Amino acid sequence: MTPIAVVAGMLVAGGLVLLLAGLRRGWAAPSSSSRAPESWAARWSRLTRRPPGAAGRRRDLVMIGSLAAGLVLAVVTGWTLLIPLAPLVAFGLPALLRLPVQRDVALMEALDRWLRNLAATLATGRSISDAIRASLRTAPAGIRDELAALVARLNNRWETDDALRRFADDLDSADGDAVVSALILASQRGSVGASSTMLALADSLQDQLRARRMIETERAKPYVVVRQVTVITMLTLALVVVFNPGFFSAYRTPLGQLILVVLLTMYVGSLLLMRRKARQHPRARILVARQPTGGAT
């Protein structure tokens, strides 16, 4: 039996033990008299920062499955590099081939919905601060936490301008600054014409959203092409390994595996470069928070 086969068997056995421990749903509560020793499952969760619930079990299955696949492939092909490479591919490749989520689009959608609810409340004659408090019940999920903090500051007798400026800091967005600026002006003018202003601002956000969605659609096209090329390449390499294993015999040597590492690093670097190019840079903000004159939250 070759050394790599022995190592493969030991790692597979250890992986199965860790998998069974990770799939356990509960642990016995420690007694009040003495603290029970930390279980393998708890230690595994702590060391690997395992997410709770189904997400953690899914991550463990992917990790164990990819490691086992890497061991089997290493035994078959003689490429020891595949043992650490398989988990890296299983976790890293989907993240690199996924289009970066742009927060601005989701934030603008949430602000648009909130502004329309706010305009309907302001039309009943409420003040800006009262309308903001009432809007918390139907606030979109994208800004609910920030809006809850704003309402808490208003309830703690913050000045409306200071609370709104801190709200803009929590949103940390140029689009949020435009909305907050309109709210500050409306609060200083006694809510006169605030409802129509909020509706006009919401319409402007809708126009920007349409343009942003078109941009996002165009930005997604290179990622679709790269995903297709990556899948086709991996399938082709797998078929060559199965039907013509001698084609990759040069990569079984230490020098060949070093060259393989260089080639894979270049490919990952190109994906990282593409992801960096696709990342949207934050636009400059126009509001700067002042020192609040009310109570602290």
Each residue's pLDDT, cut to its tens digit, for the chain (297 residues) gives 454 544 555 555 455 545 555 555 444 444 444 455 656 666 666 666 666 667 677 777 777 777 887 787 777 766 777 777 777 777 777 777 777 667 778 888 889 899 888 888 888 878 888 888 988 888 888 889 999 999 999 999 888 888 999 998 888 888 888 888 888 888 887 766 778 888 888 888 888 888 888 887 887 788 888 888 888 888 887 788 778 877 777 777 788 878 878 888 888 888 888 777 767 776 777 776 554 444 444
- Helix, strand, coil percentages (3-state) for the chain, rounded to 5, are 75, 0, 25
122 and 153 Cβ atoms separated by less than 8 Å: no
CA dihedral (109, 112, 113, 114) positive or negative: positive
CA angle 78, 82, 86 (to 5 degrees): 150
CA distance 108 to 128: 20
pLDDT, residue 49, reads: 63
67 and 87 Cβ atoms separated by less than 8 Å: yes
CA distance 228 to 97: 10
Phi, psi dihedral angles at 159 (to 5 degrees): -65, 140
SS3 of 30, please? Answer: coil
pLDDT, residue 293, reads: 47
Encoding tokens for residue 41? 């499952």
pTM equals 0.59
Burial 153-189 (b: 16+ CB within 10 A, else e): bbeeebebbbbbbbbbbbbebebbbbbbbbbbebbee
